[in-house]
Structure 1
Amino acid sequence: MKVRQNLYIDREIADALEAIAAGPGGNKSRLVNDALAAWLARRGTRELDDTFKVRLDRMSRDLDHIRRDTDVIIESLALFVRYQLLVTAPLPEADSVALAVGLDRFEKFVGQVGRQLATGRRTLGPAKPGKTS
């Protein structure tokens, strides 16, 4: 169903509309209808963009902080491992007691990491929201 509208438009726009409508398949009503529909669709898109822009910007900043923190953690771990490998003397293979103690310590370390990740507790920094210590 079409609705009749009486509109006033500037002379320059009316002349341009007349020139376009004079071409093949030209129809003023269809041209104005299509132009108005396209303008309204862009306006709605812009409102959505404005709505999500703030949230996307915040998420982008958060990702940058996570990337920075991850880089710090990786570099710290790499430096620690390098230091340990350079400074700590290897155990003689015949020292089975020391090797057993080392394996036991490693198993305890891996278990502690798993427990802390599962409960949300952190050695450095606050626990994750919603997790109990």
Structure 2
Amino acid sequence: MEFDSEDYPDERLIACRNPLIAQKNQQQREALLEAVEKELDLIVQATQKEKRALKGQDKIALKVGKVLNQFKVNKYYNLEITEEGFSYQRKLELIAQETALDGVYVLRTSLESTLMGGMVFKTVLGSFIV
């Protein structure tokens, strides 16, 4: 899909979508979220132990923060941390929005407009082949 933008008056913008990259991105995101949730579930379990349970909002937040910072996925979760426990939920709307954009990218070119989008794409890719 080709379109114009006032931000780039002398250039053409071509939106492309690669379904293989989209699928790969979705699988990677899901695997990452599952790995994070496995770690977060361990923290939830630690807060529910009968003996030596993890208590205190600060202590729980430190453990949760360590996991989220390790995986860089803070934006995908709503968290509730209290003195006595911890819970989390996926931000399903945000994940759905990002899933819809998986595999989408925009080429910006100043090549003449008589070239079709596919030809521009091949020309751009050809310039990166070593």
TM over 0.5, shorter chain = no
- Determine which structure has more spread, i.e. the larger CA radius of gyration: 1
Q: Greater RCO between the two (CA within 8 Å, min separation 6)?
A: 2
Question: Per residue, is there more strand in 1 or in 2?
Answer: 2
TM-score if structure 1 supplies the norm length?
0.28
